[in-house]
Structure 1
Amino acid sequence: MDLSLDLFSPQAAPAEWLVIATGVAALAVTVPRRIWLLARNAITIAHEGGHGLLALATGRRLEGIRLHSDTSGLTVSRGRPTGVGVVLTLAAGYPAAPLLGLGGAALLGTHRVTLLLWLATALLLAMLVMVRNAYGVLTVLLTGAAFLLVSWLTTPEVQSVFAYAVVWFLLLGGVRPAFELQSKRRHGGAPDSDADQLARLTHVPAGVWLFFFHAVAICSLIGGGRWLLGY
């Protein structure tokens, strides 16, 4: 088997009803609070991974990532306490899941399901190296194992359903955290949120950063949804 050919070759496009069904399933996971509290761990992985990736990309030293059972997380990096690097690192968290969903939708728009699954597995393995607590290691391992098992052991049809469901969830689930943060701030909570830290660093109001998070998430959902649906 030529693995490189399999990775980059397009697979057969799924039926439109199946694409819509996976979107509805992702929405059903995102909206109900009890299910969301469990599923949100995946969004937290993407969120903290976004912080970590931008920390490395801007030359900061990534100390570690922690994921907690309440679906919160913490990424610690060392470097200048001010400047572009720390601003980009802080700003990367909330947009990470929507932008990953947008990238995944672009791949699925060209029917490269296998490439998407393997890229996701590679990103999870890279993140695992930097996770510094037991719950975080377990969460990333289980998520990575799901991608690996689906990639190796299931039929192309099952892989396609899984890939579309994951991308829809990143796009839909990526919208909710900014609204949750907005609600917390309205009630006096989350004084050290990413938006508030960015406000202190840049002197740009936290509300403007919240608008940025919302804009990225909603635009990603619209653009990604159009790619997934073939419009």
Structure 2
Amino acid sequence: MHQLASVPLAPLWDEVSGTQPDPDLWVVIASLVAALAVVVPHGPWRVARNAVTIAHEGGHGLVALLTGRTLTGIRLHSDTSGLTVSRGKPHGIGMILTAAGGYTAPPLLGLGGAALLDSGRITLLLWLATVLLVAMLVMIRNAYGALTVILTGALFVLVSWLTGPQVQAAFAYAVVWFLLLGGVRPAFELQAKRSRGGAGDSDADQLSRLTNVPAALWLFLFHAVSLCSLIGGGRWLLEM
């Protein structure tokens, strides 16, 4: 019985975990240009930043779970802000890592995605992203957040099931470029807000209170992670 039940899954797993041919260089460059066109101008960025917020709050939630905290819920708001609530000690390494997991999550996800694409695993990347979005949906606690995650997940499913290899490759590369580039901008936005006296309860300020390390140094860490991820991930994506 066990053998018969496992047979239909074997071809599917082979398809998901297998490698696909690298796209043409023009596809990689076009996906980079598309990502820049979304991240750099203010108008498209206001909409696309919702996707970065999903990764940001998902980072908080994932690190909270990995450090033994109890994740109670995630909320995503229409102004592209978000809130992740977890229970546990209000201090210590678990809380510190959870607070640091937000701004570092999008660029690190982009770096991980670049590594998968460099190894030719386009399908695996699309499926992993879908699984992460479904897992995050379970913890969403407001209607706007649920709608945002459902629409994002639906886009990955539609591309995975209804398009050919070239379209899937272009979409996957565009997503990873977006995470790498979109992971850089929020740290600069936070820096600008703090220079104007705002964002007093930002992740950097919370980390400062938890560790007695100046918020500016935590902001420097966010910059370092995002820029290093962009450089490293960009090199992988452009290797043909």
Length-normalised TM-score, structure 1: 0.99
> Which residue, 16, 21, 30 being the options, matches 1:7?
16
3-state secondary structure, aligned to 1:92: helix
Query: Counterpart in 2 of 1:168?
Result: 177
3-state secondary structure, aligned to 2:84: strand
Matching residue's letter, 2:75? R
Query: Counterpart in 2 of 1:54?
Result: 63
Runs of 4+ in 1 over 3 A off after TM superposition: none
Is structure 2 residue 25 aligned with structure 1 residue 16? yes
Aligned ranges 1:52-201 → 2 under 5 Å: 52-201=61-210
3-state secondary structure, aligned to 2:78: coil
Query: Counterpart in 1 of 2:49?
Result: 40
Q: Which runs of 5 or more structure 1 residues have no equivalent in the other structure?
A: none
Query: Which deviations, in whole Å up to 9, do the C-alpha atoms of 1:102-159 show, x marking residues without a partner?
Result: 0000000011100000000000000000000000000000000000010011111110
| Alignment partners' CA distance in 2, 1:229 and 1:17 | 10
3-state secondary structure, aligned to 2:85: strand
| Alignment partners' CA distance in 1, 2:68 and 2:219 | 25
> Which residue, 25, 28, 34 being the options, matches 2:34?
25
Which structure's CA Rg is the greater one? 2
3-state secondary structure, aligned to 2:80: coil
Q: How far is the alpha carbon of 1:31 from its aligned partner?
A: 0.5
| Alignment partners' CA distance in 2, 1:193 and 1:184 | 10
| Alignment partners' CA distance in 2, 1:17 and 1:207 | 39
Instruction: Give the total of aligned pairs.
Output: 231
| Alignment partners' CA distance in 1, 2:213 and 2:57 | 23
| Alignment partners' CA distance in 1, 2:204 and 2:146 | 27
Query: Which deviations, in whole Å up to 9, do the C-alpha atoms of 1:167-222 show, x marking residues without a partner?
Result: 00000000000000000000000000000000011000000000000000000000
Matching residue's letter, 1:140? V
Cα root mean square deviation, aligned: 0.8
| Alignment partners' CA distance in 2, 1:85 and 1:96 | 16
| Alignment partners' CA distance in 2, 1:210 and 1:10 | 37
| Alignment partners' CA distance in 1, 2:173 and 2:207 | 33
Q: How far is the alpha carbon of 1:49 from its aligned partner?
A: 0.2
Length-normalised TM-score, structure 2: 0.95
3-state secondary structure, aligned to 2:139: coil
Matching residue's letter, 1:63? T
Query: Counterpart in 2 of 1:209?
Result: 218
Q: How far is the alpha carbon of 1:16 from its aligned partner?
A: 1.0
Aligned-residue sequence identity (percent) comes to 72
